[in-house]
Amino acid sequence: MATIEERLQRVEDIEEIRRLKVRYAEACDTGFDPDTIISLFTPDGVWDAGEFGRFVGEEMRPYWQETARISGTAMHYMVNHVVDVDDNGTDASGRCYLFAAVDRDGTAYWMAVKYEERYRKVDGRWLFTLMKLLPAFMTSFDQSWVPPPPG
């Protein structure tokens, strides 16, 4: 049976991980600064967006630099964030959803993504060790994300 202090620590850890995700969204929404985004990951942290690329640590930098160059407005809405802290108290997993409005190269897009994530507490600070994106759709604002019926 966990003590009240252990239970409180777990709740504080979950809240800090949720704040980590908000810092990521804010970094995206204020210009995709590579230094800021990379600082939210462990040095061996992975950002895995499937067909858009998989990057480890500093390998992320060119991706975020290019994203910053071609992106204008971005608004990342993170919802339904569930976090489970491992028994060791230094590792955790989580999942959440993103709905975003972004523009890339002057074209407005809607985007929906599910995130599957791993986190690690390093020197008292929670960081991403894995951020895996499972895109549902990314479609221009003037088009539906629903495919036309067959026929």
Question: Domain for residue 21, yes or no?
Answer: yes
Question: Domain for residue 13, yes or no?
Answer: yes
Number of domains in the chain: 1
| Bridge pairing between strands 41-48 and 125-140 | parallel
What confidence score (pLDDT) does residue 144 get?
A: 79
Task: Report long-range pairs for 84-90 (Cβ below 8 Å, ≥24 apart).
Answer: 85/10, 85/13, 85/14, 85/17, 89/9, 89/10, 89/13, 89/121, 90/120, 90/121
What confidence score (pLDDT) does residue 20 get?
A: 98
Determine which helix (DSSP H) or strand (DSSP E) holds 118, and give its type and residue range.
Answer: strand 107-122
| CATH code for position 16 | 3.10.450.50
Q: Give residue 42's domain range.
A: 4-83+94-140
Whether the model pTM is above 0.85:
yes
Question: Domain for residue 146, yes or no?
Answer: no
Q: pLDDT digits over 87-132, tens only?
A: 999 999 999 999 999 999 999 999 999 999 999 999 999 999 999 9
Question: Domain for residue 147, yes or no?
Answer: no
Backbone angles phi, psi at 33, to 5 degrees: -60, 115
